[in-house]
């Protein structure tokens, strides 16, 4: 899982193997040790609701994506278009835009070379 933060946008990008695990009901975890005593972790999972949600603690995040939306994306792969979800921040700037996509470059290369 790759996380990219720019302003009020958080992009989550996973590979096809991670997508298969996610669709099988397994959460995807990512952990990075930035410096002594400074770690960041994120758990990505699916849930039965219609909206994405984010929670956790500083350095230990949880992102839950709507199962139906992720399965819909999986059905139309390969696609450059991912999913976008507005998440309320409780701050005056209003929302964090969560972008989710699946990196299919490896499987596209394999299909082309076959």
pTM of the model: 0.88
Distance CA 63, CA 27 (A): 10
The overall average pLDDT reported for the chain is 91
**pLDDT score recorded for residue 45:** 98
Please write the tens of the pLDDT for every residue from 34-77: 999 999 999 999 999 999 999 999 999 999 999 999 999 999 99
Distance CA 73, CA 91 (A): 30
Q: Are strands 38-47 and 60-66 parallel, antiparallel or unpaired?
A: parallel
**Tokens 């609701």 label which residue?**
49
pLDDT above 60 for 90: yes
Tokens read off for 99: 């972008």
Structural domains in the chain? Answer: 2-113 (3.30.1360)
Q: For residue 30, what are the contacts with CB-CB under 8 A and spacing of at least 6?
A: 1, 2, 3, 41, 42, 44
Q: Compute the C-alpha angle 71/76/78, nearest 5°.
A: 115
Tokens read off for 5: 């933060």
């Amino acid at each position: 899982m790759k996380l990219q933060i720019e302003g009020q946008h958080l992009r989550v990008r996973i590979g096809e193997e991670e997508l298969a695990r996610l669709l099988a009901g397994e959460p995807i975890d990512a952990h990075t040790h930035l410096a002594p005593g400074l770690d960041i972790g994120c758990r990505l999972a699916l849930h039965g609701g219609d909206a994405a949600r984010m929670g956790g603690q500083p350095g230990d995040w949880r992102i839950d994506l709507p199962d139906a939306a992720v399965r819909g994306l999986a059905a139309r792969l390969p696609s450059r278009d991912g999913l976008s979800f507005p998440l309320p921040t409780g701050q005056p700037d209003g929302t964090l835009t969560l972008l989710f996509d699946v990196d299919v470059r490896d499987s596209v290369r394999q299909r082309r070379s076959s």
